[in-house]
């Protein structure tokens, strides 16, 4: 048994670090969410909605985003039509937790790791804001394609970016890079 522990030590360290960081960040995020009443929207989701509004106004879109009267989500009205809602899960925090956990599990030098995490988080967040804006427009014109757009295409894009960032991290910056 000891032979296998020694042989698989790098893998076991990776797995334990990944899950340790993932669980820690998930618990911290859950504590953050629990600090809001069930009828309120958390600050990160509000910020994402605000950024979507700013982006779409920059392109002169007729957009209105505001809190639902009775539910904890943001209503998105595009061209005077209720198009979609932004819920807590739309803020990309779960994707960011996954990204950060992987990078830390394959950490390199502290400064490089920190800079990569910060730039990766910003890139993923910006792509997420663009994703919500594009989804708003596409669902306005193609509401019947909601499943393929929201359930397949846009998750593929955001998780695809995370995967590409992981590949770059492991091959260029982690302690295992050549």
For the stretch 74-102, pLDDT in tens is 999 999 999 999 999 899 999 999 999 99
- Nearest partner of 84 among 139, 130, 155, judged by Cα: 139
Is the residue at 57 inside a domain?
Answer: no
Q: How far is CA 158 from CA 132, 164, 177, in A?
A: 11, 10, 24
Is the residue at 62 inside a domain?
Answer: no
Residue 12 has pLDDT above 90, yes or no: no
Is the residue at 68 inside a domain?
Answer: no
Tell how far CA 42 is from the center of its chain.
15
Determine contact, residues 44/51, Cβ cutoff 8 Å: no
Is the residue at 128 inside a domain?
Answer: yes
Q: How big is the CA angle at 51 (ends 45 and 54), to the nearest 5 degrees? A: 145
Give the whole-angstrom CA distance, residue 137 versus residue 77.
10
Give the whole-angstrom CA distance, residue 132 versus residue 130.
6
Q: What is the pTM of this model?
A: 0.91
Is the residue at 47 inside a domain?
Answer: no
Query: What is the rounded average pLDDT for all residues in the chain?
Result: 92
Tell how far CA 84 is from the center of its chain.
18
In 3-state terms, what secondary structure has residue 148? helix
Question: 9-34 and 93-105 helices cross at what angle (nearest 10)?
Answer: 150
Determine contact, residues 48/132, Cβ cutoff 8 Å: yes
Is the residue at 73 inside a domain?
Answer: no
Position 175 confidence tier, pLDDT thresholds 50, 70, 90: confident
Tell how far CA 110 is from the center of its chain.
23
**Domain extent at residue 144:** 2-41+90-173
Is the residue at 13 inside a domain?
Answer: yes
**Total structural domains in the chain?**
1
Is the residue at 97 inside a domain?
Answer: yes
Position 73 confidence tier, pLDDT thresholds 50, 70, 90: very high
What tens digit of pLDDT does each residue of 95-152 get?
A: 999 999 999 998 888 999 999 999 999 999 999 999 999 999 999 999 999 999 999 9
């Amino acid at each position: 048994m000891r032979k296998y522990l020694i042989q698989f030590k790098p893998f076991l360290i990776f797995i334990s670090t990944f899950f340790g960081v993932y669980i820690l960040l998930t618990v911290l995020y859950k504590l953050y969410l629990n600090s809001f009443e069930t009828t309120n929207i958390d600050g990160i989701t509000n910020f994402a909605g605000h950024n979507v509004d700013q982006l779409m106004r920059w392109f002169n879109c007729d957009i209105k985003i505001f809190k639902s009267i009775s539910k904890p989500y943001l209503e998105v009205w595009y061209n005077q039509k209720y198009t979609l809602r932004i819920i807590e899960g739309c803020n990309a925090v779960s994707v960011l937790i996954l990204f950060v956990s992987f990078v830390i599990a394959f950490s390199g030098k502290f400064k490089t790791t920190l800079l990569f995490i910060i730039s990766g988080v910003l890139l993923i967040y910006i792509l997420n804001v663009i994703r919500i804006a594009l989804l708003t427009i596409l669902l306005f014109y193609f509401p019947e394609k909601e499943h393929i757009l929201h359930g397949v295409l846009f998750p593929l894009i955001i998780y695809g970016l995370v995967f590409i960032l992981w590949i770059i991290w492991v091959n260029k910056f982690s302690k295992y890079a050549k």
